[in-house]
Amino acid sequence: MAEPMDVTGSTFDQEVLQAGTPVLVDFWADWCVPCKMIAPMVDDLAREFDGKVKFTKVDVDADPEIAASYGIRSIPTLLIFKDGKPADQVVGAVPKSMLKKRLEAVLALTSA
């Protein structure tokens, strides 16, 4: 699976919190222009990190309670979960290289 998977309130625990690998969660909304700007970059990274990091998306309009429970106040926000807990957070449209470094840092923690 090299494409980010949509998760909802009913699938979040299983797909994100109980995942065996780190999970990037992209909090987005259809009306959010910066979200659309970073989507192709997130898709590229999903292919690049396939098998190492699971990529998921949460539509904050469809599932506002998930966003609220993690204090998401602006989008896009990318949360990287490790062992069921947030390990890193990136807010706003950032360069792909920066996001890649953050993912590699969380993976380095995993292998240590």
| Residue 3 pLDDT | 84
Q: Which two tokens stand for residue 11?
A: 């699938």
Instruction: Give the bridge partners for 6, in sequence order.
Output: 57
Domain ranges of the chain: 5-111
* Residues listed for the chain: 112
Q: Which two tokens stand for residue 102?
A: 């953050």
pLDDT tens readout for residues 63-100: 999 999 999 999 999 999 999 999 999 999 999 999 99
- Taking the model in full, what pTM does it have? 0.94
Question: Quick one: CATH architecture of 5-111?
Answer: 3-Layer(aba) Sandwich (3.40)
Helical spans, DSSP H, in the chain = 12, 33-48, 64-69, 96-111
Pick from 89, 5, 77, 86: nearest CA to 34: 77
Distance CA 112, CA 94 (A): 27
* Residues catalogued as catalytic: 32, 35
